[in-house]
Structure 1
């Protein structure tokens, strides 16, 4: 996260038009729901007594991972067998071949590509077409990290490419468009499962969707990649956004994703390679604190009494939180050691936090509580947590290229925010007590609403 005057690379476009209703839906978002569905918890993955998949994969070892993968493919194809005719007036033809391979074994090839060392899952649109996956490393690692929903996410994404192929999306279409469409189609499938329509799988809108979104976070583009790069898939913020489009509005919305739409909303624009190496900014630096305060005062210039950042005692009880808003004194107490820990990005083989923007955004979220207090809003409860995430997203959007602010967004900054919001103890989407919205999906959605808003008042109207 560079300060003003330092070379930066990320160019983000504000979308004033995103604050309008989509397909006639109301702007107001129920804080106890995820895109209209109740927040649920419990197991996600295969249902007990699920019907047989009825499919086989070439090269399978007959193990647990391949059984899960084949069941996921069968379920996604079950969804598209009904949805493609209903939405696009076209029959769905199943993928011709399914191939399982072990990337640790030599000698294999799929679609002319050597599979040794190929830790991947992919769709090959040749005639006949193929979906292939690495059962040796990729899928077991994802399942171990995030659960069965991760495998569902990967295979639903690849079958999203099969849907594109059947709808006539050609090779000339930029990779980023095809990838974001596939993420969107993945979200549409997960909505179908979350509504209880799948005979084979179940997904909760709490931890289950968190697993899916965390999978997209893990397989995001690195910070130096821009959406114009050949082979770009999208950063975490853009990939999660595409998934949410599909989950909220269905596959017809996904088909509307094209080059112009991606260009308009991409947060992966510009010569990111130059900004990816910006040094990490620590919040125990006085100038960094001053720059953060200046950026917040500029973003919320209509606030009559801006809160002060302090590292000393406040009138509020110490909680151990990285930052706390003290409403009685209009102060934000900073726990600098904890903020420095959060702001220190992890390094290979060593524990760490999330990155500097995550720490800055946590402080910004507490600042927005002062803004809300002045406006007469309650500072406790799910609606306050939503409003906080939304206003923090609005502040983040003011740090984009072309604005004269004390801080500027760097490549990867918004991905740090996504990681923070998918964590159990998120502060970006928490109320004054530090209680976060229960669903990571809802946290990111509220932040994204603010990021796209032309003015902070949108957050009050969306989350009254």
Structure 2
């Protein structure tokens, strides 16, 4: 976050004005907070199914180990999905990729598609040779099994683009977010129990996959039109969620115009100084910063009366007490601020969002209240984009900090008055994004009711 700052921001965010509270009814469809894109929230095992069939695929240069067995099985399973769904979505047959290659980035060099593999901790698809390759030495071992499958599902998404005649000269950000979206298509199929090789829970399993997208996001401060750009964690998760909730045609429709409208990726400015907490981060327990935070919350939710107190401790580092009282534990806030200032300030904003609900006569406990809290916190975030000139403003990487917090086991941003939340980070991020992209209290109170 940063102090007073005015800059250009995308049209979608400029439209995200805070609404007065309470708002008028919205035509936004009601969400079921106990479901993920219509599926029940589950918390079982994720990864290979016991007794899963052999892949039938082999990889060149394989060492025959467990990592390569998992990778070839993943590719075979993703291909089974596309062989089934490609004709339905695109009225054409899907052909498996021509070649799979395993390499160890720590070992002997291979030359693949004009690229040296020594030191290349990566996985990639090369359209020239129609090949999917992966690093068995460092990359895949750094992930759990279901996250490794997600990496390969993304690369297979590029193979889908190639078969559709897409890719080519398209900006890398378009190709990468389409591939994230196609991976979401595949995992919906897995979550529905239609895969013979893998299973994924819609709670903890999808949380692991979304955390993987965070791990391989672009660094804060990169621009979405840069060569090789993949997107912020927030934007990559958005693309994956589009695919999980909708069909492959939605993914094929992602283009530069859409990404330009919704992108949260931007470069650091001169204002994003590093004062010892990382570039763009503020000291969250500083009284001046907290006064600025409180001012942005009053502006986002005009007419709501909140009293600040330090003695309320139902949740930490911020809490909501009955009667419109919000409490802050400065020591706890400073500790949370080590993740980033947005994670800390967002937690305070979430307790203010509970006060907003209480002022409207809405329930403040229960999972619906938690989802509504995430949505209203996203609304607040939409009011502090750089164009608004608010006392605090979002810096590059802030919304990725929100993703980290929302995927945590005890997310306060998506917690009710007592901090109770649902086990699906996917659904929490979705609720936050609803508030952020619409900037409407009506959306939050109508969709999450």
**TM class by shorter-chain length?**
over 0.9
In the TM superposition, what is the alpha-carbon distance from 1:320 to its structure 2 partner? 5.7
Change (3 A) 1:291 1:248: same
Aligned to 1:194: 191
- C-alpha separation in 2, matches of 1:281 and 1:272: 14
Q: How many corresponding residue pairs?
A: 434
- C-alpha separation in 1, matches of 2:219 and 2:375: 25
Where does 1:41-56 land on structure 2 (aligned, <5 Å)?
41-56=43-58
1:280 aligns with 2:265: no
Aligned to 1:106: 108
Aligned to 1:370: 355
Where does 1:259-274 land on structure 2 (aligned, <5 Å)?
259-269=256-266, 271-272=267-268, 274=270
Aligned to 1:310: 309
- Kept in 2: contact 1:321–1:335 (CA 8 A): yes
> Unmatched 5+ residue regions in structure 2?
17-26, 274-278
Aligned to 2:145: 148
Where does 1:84-103 land on structure 2 (aligned, <5 Å)?
84-103=86-105
Where does 1:60-459 land on structure 2 (aligned, <5 Å)?
60-126=62-128, 128-142=129-143, 147-269=144-266, 271-272=267-268, 274=270, 277=273, 278-303=279-304, 305=305, 307-311=306-310, 313-314=311-312, 318-319=313-314, 321-328=316-323, 330-344=324-338, 354-459=339-444
In the TM superposition, what is the alpha-carbon distance from 1:37 to its structure 2 partner? 0.3
Change (3 A) 1:84 1:47: same
- C-alpha separation in 2, matches of 1:15 and 1:30: 28
- Kept in 1: contact 2:280–2:395 (CA 8 A): no
Partner-residue secondary structure (3-state), 1:184: helix
Partner-residue secondary structure (3-state), 2:100: strand
Partner-residue secondary structure (3-state), 1:199: coil
In the TM superposition, what is the alpha-carbon distance from 1:15 to its structure 2 partner? 7.4
> Unmatched 5+ residue regions in structure 1?
18-24, 345-353
Aligned to 2:13: 14
Partner-residue secondary structure (3-state), 1:272: coil
In the TM superposition, what is the alpha-carbon distance from 1:383 to its structure 2 partner? 0.5
- Kept in 1: contact 2:374–2:431 (CA 8 A): yes
Deviations 1:95-139 (A, max 9, x none): 00100000001322211211010000000010x311000000000
In the TM superposition, what is the alpha-carbon distance from 1:454 to its structure 2 partner? 3.9
Change (3 A) 1:10 1:64: farther
| TM score, norm. by length of structure 2 | 0.93
Quick one: higher RCO (CA 8 Å, sep 6+), 1 or 2?
Answer: 2
Deviations 1:241-272 (A, max 9, x none): 00000001121111110010000100114x33
- Kept in 2: contact 1:366–1:432 (CA 8 A): yes
In the TM superposition, what is the alpha-carbon distance from 1:310 to its structure 2 partner? 2.7
Aligned to 2:22: none
Backbone CA RMSD of aligned residues: 1.7
- C-alpha separation in 1, matches of 2:115 and 2:403: 34
- C-alpha separation in 2, matches of 1:135 and 1:364: 43
Aligned to 1:349: none
- C-alpha separation in 1, matches of 2:271 and 2:220: 8
- C-alpha separation in 2, matches of 1:12 and 1:60: 48
- Kept in 2: contact 1:399–1:407 (CA 8 A): yes
Deviations 1:306-328 (A, max 9, x none): x13333x24xxx34621110113
Where does 1:21-40 land on structure 2 (aligned, <5 Å)?
27-40=29-42
